[in-house]
């Protein structure tokens, strides 16, 4: 942030702010010539050539000066220089100072400088009684690291505030700030953003319409449509608080992390990010959204943790969700206790009794992993206690279970399933009129399932199948349930709002 205290030094050090109860006379130190005359109703003392004046500790030098004694003001012309102490220097082409009203006008190539900064403009007006000043023309304020420009500015000593308005630009080696209005409260060491403000650096772009920055604590807060954009990532929220000492960003109220490159949005009502560790926690209605080409996956959990991992000069996202995870898309729905999304290998892994539903099918295992390709689910891997169920009606279920399963997707729809290790199946046979003609009970070390239109169309038993077919009359529905069978339809989220229900 710009060194506002340097601006204050100039304004506070300006000699016209040194007000005394009684007006002291202007002391003439030197002039090549001194003339007295009357100009209309005014009595004028004309000082010409190498003029040097002193007033209440202020030294004034100029080419000529007109002192209107009866009106108690003077004008200074040509190469006007003001010096006070060893630090403050002012140069201009013209100065008018009114001893009665305590007003001073400095014009024509005004240049104020001290040991820390330089202010240049065409015209400044000060009131010494109220210790306030303002300019309504373009001005530049430059210090050793920053340059602030604006078309208007005001200083109020009583209120301890400075206001810059109209096309305010702050140039700093680390950032550029653009706004229409900027307010600085001296006692608080705080700059307030009171208009739409844009702060651009090499790493990010910040936008807000309200907020503040403390030049002492190096903390900032951005409010009202606040966003931080860094590459393809956009952070937004009702309130964004930044602490430069801890390098943490806290966001509250309508929190959103949008990564356009990864086609993901993560939202909630509170988050905290540590820029040192590149880690973010999101809580309170945490929601993870991933956009596929023809579908969108919505995931909710108690907490979401985001991390950025850099490998081979490229950043990858790692999202971890835990406790009461539920997901919904038009293609499939899911629930589990935790999951991990890794953009490096484009995978989503589900842990803690994961279940995935697609149309009338249910899939469960100890662990389920989705492999994404070109933004779509390309493959699914089930590890340990894999179980696939297809509901035919309220009493009949096609089932396949085994140690591990691999599912192949086509256009985001499950098209094939391969089951390996201690595979078992129960499959109801039907004729062309969809009438049940028997039930196939087979065990095999390898089973291949083909699905069409989200339904099991064919089951192939690849290695040493053993089993039997029961005719309709002898079929017992209770005997048709494989060991470990659990139909969890009541836990299935049927629409987006269901993922927020416990």
Task: Give the residue from 325, 345, 365 where a domain finishes.
Answer: 345
CATH label of the domain that carries residue 297: 2.60.450.10
List average pLDDT for each run of 10 residues in the chain, which is 502 residues long.
Answer: 36 34 73 80 87 85 92 92 79 89 88 81 82 88 86 85 92 90 88 95 93 88 94 93 91 92 90 90 92 88 90 87 93 93 90 93 94 85 94 88 92 86 87 82 87 80 79 67 93 94 80
Same structural domain, 414 and 486: yes
Q: Give the whole-angstrom CA distance, residue 369 versus residue 371.
A: 7
Q: Is residue 190 part of a domain?
A: no
Q: Give the whole-angstrom CA distance, residue 289 versus residue 265.
A: 5
pLDDT at site 491: 94
Same structural domain, 304 and 340: yes
Q: Is residue 432 part of a domain?
A: yes
Same structural domain, 277 and 332: yes
Q: Is residue 195 part of a domain?
A: no
Same structural domain, 465 and 411: yes
Q: Give the whole-angstrom CA distance, residue 353 versus residue 368.
A: 9
Same structural domain, 262 and 319: yes
Q: Give the whole-angstrom CA distance, residue 131 versus residue 102.
A: 9
Three-class SS state of 424: strand
pLDDT at site 24: 65
Q: Which domain holds residue 293?
A: 231-345
- Helix (H) / strand (E) element for 136: namely none
Q: Is residue 427 part of a domain?
A: yes
242, burial (CB in 10 Å: exposed 0-12, middle 13-18, buried 19+): buried
Q: Is residue 408 part of a domain?
A: yes
Q: Is residue 50 part of a domain?
A: no
CA 382-447-327 angle, to 5 degrees, is 30
Q: Is residue 23 part of a domain?
A: no
Same structural domain, 398 and 483: yes
Q: Is residue 12 part of a domain?
A: no
pLDDT at site 473: 67
CA atoms within 13 A on the CB side of 208: 25
Same structural domain, 423 and 488: yes
* Burial per residue of 65-84, b for 16 or more beta-carbon CB atoms within 10 angstroms, e otherwise: bbbbeeeebbbbbeebbbeb
391, burial (CB in 10 Å: exposed 0-12, middle 13-18, buried 19+): middle
Write the CA distances from 368 to 142, 218, 348, 424, 502, integer angstroms. Answer: 60, 46, 8, 19, 21
Same structural domain, 339 and 393: no
């Amino acid at each position: 942030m710009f060194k506002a205290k340097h601006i204050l030094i100039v304004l506070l050090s300006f000699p016209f702010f040194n007000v005394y109860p009684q007006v002291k006379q202007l002391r003439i130190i030197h002039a090549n010539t001194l003339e007295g005359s009357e100009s209309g109703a005014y009595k004028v003392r004309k000082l010409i050539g190498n003029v040097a004046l002193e007033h209440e500790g202020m030294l004034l030098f100029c080419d000529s000066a007109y002192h209107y004694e009866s009106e108690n003001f003077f004008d200074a012309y040509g190469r006007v220089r003001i010096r006070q102490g060893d630090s403050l220097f002012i140069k201009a082409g013209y100065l008018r100072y009114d001893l009665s009203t305590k007003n001073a006008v400095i014009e024509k190539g005004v240049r104020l400088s001290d040991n820390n900064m330089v202010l240049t403009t065409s015209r400044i007006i000060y009131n010494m009684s109220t210790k306030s000043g303002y300019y309504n023309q373009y001005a530049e304020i430059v210090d050793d690291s920053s340059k602030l420009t604006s078309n208007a500015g005001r200083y109020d000593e009583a209120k301890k505030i400075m206001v810059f308005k109209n096309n305010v630009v702050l140039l700093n080696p680390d950032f550029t700030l653009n706004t229409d209005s900027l307010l600085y409260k001296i006692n608080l060491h705080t700059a307030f953003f009171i208009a739409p403000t844009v702060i651009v650096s090499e790493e990010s772009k910040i936008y807000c319409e309200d907020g503040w920055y403390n030049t002492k604590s190096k903390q900032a807060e951005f409010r009202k449509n606040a966003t931080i954009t860094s590459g393809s990532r956009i952070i937004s929220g009702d309130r964004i608080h930044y602490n430069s000492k801890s390098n943490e960003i806290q966001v509250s109220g309508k929190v959103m992390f949008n990564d356009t490159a990864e086609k993901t949005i993560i939202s909630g009502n509170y988050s905290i990010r540590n820029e040192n560790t590149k880690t973010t926690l999101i809580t309170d209605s945490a929601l993870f959204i991933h956009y596929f080409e023809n579908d969108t996956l919505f995931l909710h959990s108690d907490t979401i943790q985001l991390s950025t991992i850099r490998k081979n000069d490229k950043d990858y996202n790692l999202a971890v969700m835990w406790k009461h995870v539920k997901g919904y898309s038009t293609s499939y729905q899911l629930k589990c206790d935790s999951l991990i999304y890794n953009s490096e290998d484009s995978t989503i892994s589900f842990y803690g009794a994961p279940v995935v539903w697609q149309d009338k099918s249910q899939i469960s295992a100890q662990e389920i992993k989705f492999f994404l390709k070109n933004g779509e689910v390309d493959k699914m891997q089930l590890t340990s206690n894999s179980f696939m169920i297809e509901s035919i009606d309220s009493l009949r279920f096609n089932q396949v279970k085994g140690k591990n399963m691999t599912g192949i997707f086509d256009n985001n729809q499950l098209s094939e399933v391969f089951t390996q290790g201690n595979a078992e199946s129960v499959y109801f046979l039907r004729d062309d009129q969809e009438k049940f003609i028997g039930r196939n009970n087979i065990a095999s070390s390898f089973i291949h399932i083909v699905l069409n239109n989200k339904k099991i169309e064919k089951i192939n038993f690849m290695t040493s199948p053993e089993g039997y077919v029961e005719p309709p009359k002898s079929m017992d529905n209770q005997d048709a349930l494989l060991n470990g069978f659990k139909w969890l339809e009541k836990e299935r989220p049927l629409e987006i709002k269901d993922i927020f229900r416990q």
